Each structure stands twice: as structure tokens, then as C-alpha cells.
């Protein structure tokens, strides 16, 4: 995994900015104004990791609580013990650790009355990081203490960010092999959070101000999968996307990006499919670069899984459509019926509480409910009159034929059950097995209802189409005997709310087209007969 380092030596404009976003925050809690002023003088010009120091003052424990509410990102607190009460400082420590549950801020007890708060007792009983007598905190010692505790805060904050990032990745991991847009997005955000952490970065400026982004592309489409800070803005993203896309596609070092920025290509089978872009305040060492490359490899693996998943889904859809087209070719009268069943099924499934993804799956599966009719003779399928008992028995075998076609394939399990059992009844008097339909998948019970509804409103060789209102009434009469009552309720609700209107119009248009075709065929047949008689 190649890391492309930028060569632009012009400092990023944001690095020259000043303000709270670029400072470490030190809370000084002391009821003596002179002590607070002396602390400020002794720490004048303090800098660590290219960031200055912002000193926040409080003259009592109560004022300190107010400052903590305003500044959630305080790195270090210097706390006097004796203020409005003899233990005000110790109570403040307990408030920070127990009430605020802030375990990151570094706490230093600084007291001028050690006898009221003995060092060993305070260290043993309070979660503090250091204990200093005011007399020993000279300018040099104060600088050293503040610097070491800020460094400790930075490291702890970095570990915490890494933990948060890992949590995102682990939460997304169970879904990586059944990828959805949501799980993939969560995965990428978790990876970016970890990259930010290991580079000592942070989107909310606790650690630094530099940003990162993960981008993927497919042909001409570019997608921002995760971003932090200013890179979330469209203007900055457009600039980064253009420069970095060119870099990973050509292998050339981008000239117009910030100094020390890194572009890490995402590769699937050696082909660039995206990149991670980061902007650390300083050049990363070899170990950090190796970690970034490892994260990039994880992103690449997730993308490869996604593409395999998409290819598999497309293959499944193609197989469904192919079998559905075979059934349509066999019985042209029910060809558009197959498409409508799909649409009805999705709507009813969602109404019954299935997710969009589940509804899509059962909708596709419903397309094969009559696939077994490819084994029924045309003379029976297209017979214009009523079927004999023997002919009807042959038609009923389409459920067995459908099962034999779709069985033993895990991807077609739902389609197989629908094709086999959509003529079973709620009261157990249906076919082929005569089992109560409550024993079968909800998709099968949905198709049982809407198959009848759509057949009633559609033209068949043996009947004229019904008015939709009459068809709905017929379905309602079958609730509890032929059909699952809950499914009937959902179907009628959608019908009465007009949710089926577009599908019903499609059925009526198909009927008009079929009627016209039959008329034209009849006229053509009559003309041929007349012509034959004249020749004779």
C-alpha cells in the first residue's frame, strides 16, 4: 500500500490561525487572585506540540463547576484545597470524577495548607495525578508539571479516540459480509476515527485541528464515505477530491495540497478504488505510516466485500428475472401479472412491518410463484373455457414443478416456499399439502392474497376482469378461511388508501392491450378464413 506524500512547502492557512481551537486549556482554581496571576505570569509563552495555553480562572469550587460546564475539553486543572471551605478543592475533585465522569482531565492538587489535606491521605483517597505544595511550585517546576500532565492528557485522549474508532468498527463488523450502505458507512467512519487517533488528530479539536477524509470512486462517481472537520465542507472536499483522485490514478505526487499531507490509495485487486487523505500537524513516523496503510487495507477489504456482495446480488436478481421471463413466455396472459405481484408484495410486506431490505427480497421471490407453470401444457393454460377436473388436477401440479425447479438452493429458499405453498389456505384445506398457511413464511401468506386479488381484476382466457372494489370485497370474504386475516387487513388498508392505484392502472392497461390483441388476432383469423373460402 503506497503512501503518497505531498511536496508543497506552503504552510496550510489554518495552521496560522489563533484561537481556542488551537490551545490546551488549563483550569486554575484558587481563591487567591495573586496566586492565579502568578500562575499566568510563570506560564506565559507556554507551548506544547505546536499549541499554546489558554488559562481559565476560577476563585472557588462553585466557579470551577461553572467553567467545567462551559469547557468540556479542559486538559489540566490546578486545584487549591482550602477555598470557600476547608475541603472545597477535594469536593471539586469528586465532582469531576464521579458526577461529570470525566476521567481524562489531569488533576493537580496545589495547596498552601498541607496540614488540612495531608499528601498521602489525598493521594490514597482521591483520583488525582499530582500533589504539590505551593512553596515548591517554582516557575520551572510549574512549567514541568503542566507540560507533563498535558502530554499525559494528549496520550489518554488519543487512546480514547482509538477506542471510539474501534467501537465503530466492531459494531459494523457483523454486517460487513452482508453489506448495506449504513453498515459500510459506519465502518468507514470508525476507520477514519482510528486514523485520526493514531495520528494524534481529532475532529472536535481536543488534540489537533487537522482533518481527514475517506473517499471511494467507481467509474465517474465519487463518494465521500467519512470525513472530519473542514473536509466535510463541499468546497474543501471538491479540491481534495480532484487532487487526490488524480494522484491515486496516475501515481503522481499532488502539488497543490498541504505540506506533510498523506494520500493513501485504496486498492482492490491492484486497481485504485478510492483513498484516505489526512493532514497531520507534523510528518508521521514510519510506525504511524504503517498503521495508516493497515487501516487503508481494511477499507479496501471492506470495499472488495461490498463489490462481491453487489455482484452476487446482481446474479441473484438476474436468475430471478430469467426464470420469471421463462414463466412469462410460457403464459403470456400472466406475464405482467408477475411484475405486479412483486410490487404488491413489497408494499404489503412493509405495511406488515418488514424492513425495506426484507420487502425487496420477498418481492423478488414472489416473481417466481407460478414458475412451475412452465411444465403445464399450453392447451390447458390457454384454454378459453372452464377446466375439467382432470385438467384442473394437472394445473395444480405447478406447485410441485415449482418446488422441483427451485429446491436445494439457499438463495431461492423463500421463492421455493412461495411457489410450493401459495395455494395453501388459512383453514388448511388448500393444496398441495393441505396444511394451515399460518405454518408458512409471511411472504407466502402475502402472495396467497394478492395473487387472487390481481387475478380477479385481470383478464384471463376463461373470464373478464373484475372491478377492483368487487375484488377487494371478495378478498375480505376470504379472511380467516382462505387467507391470513392480518394480511387481508393490510391489503385492504393499502387498497383503500390508494396505494395500489398505480399497479391497478397497469393491470387495466394490460387488459386493454390484451383485449385489443385478441380482437386483432380474431379479425386476422376471420380474414384468413374468408380468403381461404374465396380461393376454394
Is the model more confident about 128 or about 120? 128
Give the residue carrying C-alpha cell 453487489: 310
pLDDT in tens, 369-412: 988 988 888 888 878 788 899 999 999 999 999 999 888 777 78
Residue 152 cell numbers, joined: 499525559
Side-chain-side CA neighbours of 108 within 13 Å: the count stands at 26
Q: Which run of H or of E encompasses 225?
A: strand 221-227
Nearest to 167 by CA among 198, 185, 196, 190: 190
Q: Determine the structural domain holding residue 427 and report its residue range.
A: 331-530
Answer whether 45's CB lies under 8 Å from 18's CB.
Answer: no
Q: Are residues 362 and 475 in the same domain?
A: yes
What's the CATH number where 265 sits? 3.30.450.40
Together in a domain, 369 and 496: yes
**Does 255 have pLDDT greater than 80?**
no
CB 391 within 8 A of CB 427: no
Q: What is the C-alpha end-to-end distance of the chain, expressed in Å?
A: 84
Q: Is residue 228 domain-shared with residue 126, that is, in the same domain?
A: no
Do 255 and 396 lie in one domain? The reply is no
Query: Could you give the residue numbers annotated as active site?
Result: 373
> Which whole number is the average pLDDT over 495-499?
96
497: in domain: yes
Residue 464 lies in a domain: yes
The pLDDT of residue 95? 95
How does pLDDT run across 300-340, given as a tens digit for each residue?
A: 777 777 677 667 777 777 777 777 777 666 655 555 788 89
Q: Are residues 205 and 106 located together in one domain of the fold?
A: no
Backbone φ and ψ for 257, nearest 5 degrees, come out as: -100, 175
- Examine the fold and report which residue of 68, 102, 137 is the final residue of a domain before the chain moves on: 137
Residue 487: pLDDT band (50, 70, 90) is very high
The mean predicted confidence, pLDDT, of the chain is: 80
Indicate whether 413 and 512 sit together in one domain: yes
Residue 76 belongs to domain with CATH number: 3.40.50.2300
Whether 261 is in a domain gets the answer yes
**Residue 363's domain is classified under what CATH number?**
1.10.3210.10
The grid coordinates listed for 93 are 475533585
Calpha distance 224→214 (Å, rounded): 6
Residue 325 domain flag: no
Same domain, 164 and 295: yes
Q: Does residue 149 contact residue 172 with C-beta atoms inside 8 Å?
A: no
Whether residues 94 and 202 fall in one domain: no
Question: Are 80 and 127 members of one domain?
Answer: yes
Q: Same domain for 384 and 516?
A: yes
State CA 388 to chain mean position distance. Answer: 55
Q: Which three cell numbers stand for residue 58?
A: 476560577
**Residue-level pLDDT at 66:** 95
Cα gap 28→35, rounded to integer Å? 9
Residue 484 placed within a domain: yes
* Cα of 237 vs its chain's centroid, Å: 21
Note whether 124 and 166 are same-domain residues: no
Domains held by the chain: number: 3
* pTM of the complete model: 0.51
Residue at 147 is within a domain:
no
Residue 517 lies inside a defined structural domain of this protein: yes
Q: Which residue has the cell 489535606?
A: 117
Average pLDDT rounded to a whole number, residues 108-137: 83
Does a structural domain hold residue 51?
yes
Q: Contact 419/402 with Cβ under 8 angstroms?
A: yes
Q: Helix, strand, or coil here: 150?
A: helix
Domain boundary among 137, 168, 187: 137
Average pLDDT, integer, range 228-234 = 69
Asked whether the beta carbons of 280 and 262 are under 8 A apart, the reply is: yes
C-alpha cell at 11: 504552510
Q: Around 31, how many Cα atoms within 13 Å sit in the side-chain half-sphere?
A: 14
Amino acid at each position: 500500500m503506497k503512501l503518497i506524500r505531498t511536496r508543497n512547502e506552503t504552510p496550510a492557512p489554518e495552521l496560522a490561525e489563533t484561537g481556542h481551537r488551537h490551545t490546551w486549556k488549563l483550569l486554575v482554581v484558587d481563591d487567591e487572585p495573586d496566586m492565579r496571576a502568578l500562575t499566568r505570569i510563570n506560564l506565559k509563552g507556554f507551548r506544547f506540540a505546536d499549541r499554546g495555553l489558554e488559562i481559565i480562572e476560577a476563585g472557588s469550587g462553585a466557579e470551577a463547576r461553572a467553567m467545567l460546564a462551559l469547557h468540556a475539553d479542559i486538559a489540566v486543572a490546578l486545584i487549591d484545597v482550602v477555598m470557600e471551605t476547608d475541603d472545597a478543592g477535594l469536593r471539586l475533585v469528586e465532582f469531576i470524577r464521579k458526577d461529570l465522569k470525566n476521567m481524562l482531565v489531569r488533576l493537580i492538587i496545589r495547596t498552601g495548607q498541607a496540614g488540612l489535606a495531608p499528601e498521602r491521605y489525598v493521594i490514597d483517597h482521591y483520583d488525582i495525578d499530582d500533589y504539590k505544595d505551593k512553596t515548591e511550585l517554582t516557575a520551572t517546576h510549574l512549567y514541568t508539571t503542566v507540560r507533563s500532565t498535558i502530554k499525559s492528557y494528549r496520550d489518554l485522549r488519543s487512546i480514547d479516540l482509538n477506542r471510539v474508532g474501534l467501537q465503530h468498527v466492531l459494531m459494523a463488523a457483523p454486517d460487513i459480509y452482508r453489506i448495506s450502505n449504513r453498515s459500510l458507512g459506519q465502518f468507514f467512519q470508525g476507520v477514519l476515527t482510528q486514523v485520526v487517533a493514531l495520528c494524534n488528530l481529532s475532529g472536535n479539536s481536543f488534540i489537533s485541528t487537522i482533518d481527514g477524509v475517506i473517499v471511494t470512486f467507481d467509474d465517474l462517481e465519487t463518494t465521500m464515505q467519512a470525513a472530519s472537520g473542514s473536509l466535510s465542507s463541499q468546497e474543501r472536499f471538491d479540491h481534495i477530491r480532484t487532487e487526490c483522485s488524480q494522484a491515486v490514478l496516475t501515481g503522481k505526487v499532488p502539488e497543490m495540497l498541504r505540506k506533510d499531507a498523506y494520500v493513501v490509495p485504496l486498492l482492490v485487486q491492484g486497481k485504485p478504488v478510492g483513498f484516505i487523505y489526512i493532514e497531520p500537524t507534523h510528518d508521521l513516523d514510519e510506525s504511524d505510516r504503517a498503521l495508516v496503510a493497515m487501516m487503508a487495507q481494511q477499507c479496501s477489504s471492506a470495499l472488495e466485500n461490498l463489490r462481491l456482495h453487489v455482484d452476487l446480488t446482481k446474479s441473484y436478481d438476474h436468475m430471478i428475472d430469467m426464470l420469471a421471463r421463462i414463466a412469462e413466455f410460457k403464459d403470456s396472459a400472466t406475464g405482467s401479472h408477475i411484475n405486479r405481484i412483486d410490487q404488491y408484495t413489497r408494499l404489503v410486506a412493509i405495511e406488515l412491518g418488514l424492513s425495506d431490505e426484507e420487502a425487496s427480497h420477498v418481492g423478488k421471490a414472489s416473481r417466481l410463484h407460478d414458475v412451475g407453470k412452465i411444465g403445464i401444457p399450453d392447451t390447458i393454460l390457454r384454454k378459453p373455457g372452464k377446466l375439467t377436473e382432470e385438467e384442473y388436477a394437472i394445473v395444480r401440479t405447478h406447485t410441485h414443478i415449482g418446488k422441483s425447479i427451485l429446491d436445494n438452493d439457499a438463495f431461492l429458499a423463500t421463492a421455493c416456499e412461495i411457489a410450493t405453498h401459495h395455494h395453501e389456505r388459512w383453514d388448511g384445506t388448500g393444496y398441495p399439502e393441505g396444511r394451515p398457511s399460518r405454518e408458512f413464511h409471511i411472504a407466502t401468506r402475502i402472495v396467497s392474497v394478492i395473487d387472487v386479488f390481481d387475478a380477479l381484476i385481470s383478464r384471463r382466457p376463461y373470464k373478464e376482469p373484475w372491478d377492483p372494489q368487487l375484488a377487494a370485497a371478495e378478498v375480505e370474504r376470504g379472511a380467516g378461511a382462505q387467507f391470513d386475516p392480518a394480511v387481508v387487513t393490510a391489503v385492504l388498508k393499502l387498497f383503500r388508501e390508494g396505494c395500489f392505484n398505480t399497479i391497478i392502472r397497469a393491470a387495466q392497461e394490460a387488459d386493454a392491450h390484451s383485449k385489443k390483441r385478441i380482437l386483432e388476432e380474431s379479425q386476422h383469423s376471420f380474414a384468413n378464413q374468408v380468403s381461404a373460402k374465396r380461393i376454394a
